[in-house]
Amino acid sequence: MIIGVPKEIKNNERRVPIIPFGVEDLTKSGHQIIIQSQAGIGSGFTDDKYIAAGAKVIDTAEKIFEQSDIIIKVKEPQPEEVRLIKEGQIVFTYFHFSANEDLTNNMLDTQSIAIAYETVQNSNGQLPLLIPMSEVAGRMAVQNGAKCLEGNMGGKGKLLSGVPGVEPATVTILGGGVVGSNAAKLAAGLGGKVYIVDINPERLKYLDDIMPANVFTLYSNKHTITELLPKTDLLIGGVLQVGAKAPKIVTRDMLSLMQKGSVIVDVAVDQGGCVETCKPTTHAEPTYEVDGIIHYCVTNMPGSVPYTSTIALANATYPYIKKIVNNGCIPALKQDRSLRYGLNIYKGKITHSAVANTFDMDYAFPDEVAN
């Protein structure tokens, strides 16, 4: 197969979906990798490194899309990229369709095959291609939230850790999954008083066993959250429903319960956000204020640490890329149930129920892919 790697063009996105090791390994298997010039430079990988590994460097994205059987990316195709996608072409990347109806309709029109990193799901219900970026985002949520609490950022001027004689900040985390547990680890390590709320009792028991003494677990319901919000300095949203929009856990009315200068970091923004007042922001202008509450809702948070994020993502995605190109798309989907969960659109049809339900569209899984 010819594997195309265009340079990411989403605002402030510096990651790349494959590292030189992957290029070298795929080249040995007889595949051709064409990569757009400077695609890896933001993550520390020069064109020379890719050339040495066996890739062919091409100047324009148009030529990449034109020549490739499969396109691998990090972020969802931007409008100018969607126009380049060919009928039957495989596109393997993060899509988050449920948060973007225009992208969904435009990808349906291309008659391509869209496999989404975020819905690849193994037999244990885990999301192996979302986990590494969720780990990064969970830790960065605390890092960025702590910065936003500073007075010069509009926050209440509270140090997350406190100091002897002054209490630490209170951090409330919505969701005890990968984002939530990683956020809790970092917030607790910095000395904050941390609450994790979740609707899964078994998950809460597990977190209660492994977390340090300054982390407290609570069952998530409206009463619990309304009790926590008045004392919360930093609220982190880490709620996920696979392939679907995030539920609105904190409404606009509930915002009035928080003290002025408190901070919200909604990691679920890629799926529409779990805070009603959430709207996507960029690294250039990451925050805005609603009712005196600072909101940090950057959609590609891991993109600001591209070296770490690229390697973590490539380590996870590479086995699936290799399976697709070595076996062919249809055989790979038939053989690997986890990969089948990742199939969101197949030649003009939605193939993931969560996406279909979000937009009240028809859902059909193609016979030729079913095992």
User: Quick one: pLDDT at residue 243?
Assistant: 67
pLDDT band of residue 364 (cuts 50, 70, 90) is confident
Nearest to 247, CA basis, from 291, 198, 212, 282:
198
Over range 38-54, report the average pLDDT: 97
pLDDT tens-digit map of 167-218:
999 999 999 999 999 999 999 999 999 999 999 999 999 999 999 999 999 9
Residue 352, C-beta contacts closer than 8 angstroms, at least 6 positions apart: 97, 116, 119, 243, 341, 343, 344, 363
User: Quick one: pLDDT at residue 283?
Assistant: 82
Residue 294, pLDDT > 70, answer yes
Active site residues: 96, 270
In a domain, 49, yes or no: yes
In a domain, 196, yes or no: yes
| 151 and 281 together in one domain | yes
| 88 and 177 together in one domain | no
Please report how the helices 20-28 and 306-327 are oriented relative to each other, as an axis angle in degrees rounded to 10. 10
In a domain, 369, yes or no: no
pLDDT tens-digit map of 157-169:
999 999 999 999 9
| 218 and 79 together in one domain | no
Residue 62, pLDDT > 80, answer yes
User: Quick one: pLDDT at residue 368?
Assistant: 80
Name the more confident of 123 and 136: 136
Asked if 347 and 109 touch (Cβ cutoff 8 Å), the reply is: no
pLDDT band of residue 42 (cuts 50, 70, 90) is very high
pLDDT band of residue 72 (cuts 50, 70, 90) is very high
Over range 68-82, report the average pLDDT: 97
* Domain span at 355: 2-126+306-359
For 32, the token pair is 């051709």
| 292 and 160 together in one domain | yes
Residue 45's domain is classified under what CATH number? 3.40.50.720
| 280 and 328 together in one domain | no
| 137 and 240 together in one domain | yes
| 156 and 29 together in one domain | no
Residue 225, pLDDT > 80, answer yes
| 173 and 269 together in one domain | yes
Domain count, the chain: 2
pLDDT tens-digit map of 4-37:
999 999 988 999 999 999 999 999 999 999 999 9
Given 277, 304, 331, the domain boundary residue is 304
| 117 and 187 together in one domain | no
Give CA 338 to chain center in angstroms: 18
Given 287, 304, 321, the domain boundary residue is 304
Given 304, 324, 344, the domain boundary residue is 304
Residue 237, pLDDT > 90, answer yes
Nearest to 266, CA basis, from 175, 204, 187:
175
In a domain, 364, yes or no: no
Residue 356, pLDDT > 80, answer yes
| 154 and 284 together in one domain | yes
Q: Can you tell me which residue has the tokens 């028991």?
A: 205
In a domain, 333, yes or no: yes
In a domain, 312, yes or no: yes
| 172 and 289 together in one domain | yes
Considering the chain, what is the average pLDDT of its residues? Answer: 95
Query: What is the per-residue DSSP string for 20-43?
Result: HHHHHHHHHTT-EEEEETTTTGGG
In a domain, 370, yes or no: no
Name the more confident of 366 and 138: 138
| 229 and 263 together in one domain | yes
In a domain, 235, yes or no: yes
Percent of all residues in the chain with a pLDDT value above 70, rounded to a whole number = 99
Residue 65 to residue 165: CA distance in whole angstroms = 60
User: Quick one: pLDDT at residue 350?
Assistant: 95
Residue 367, pLDDT > 90, answer no
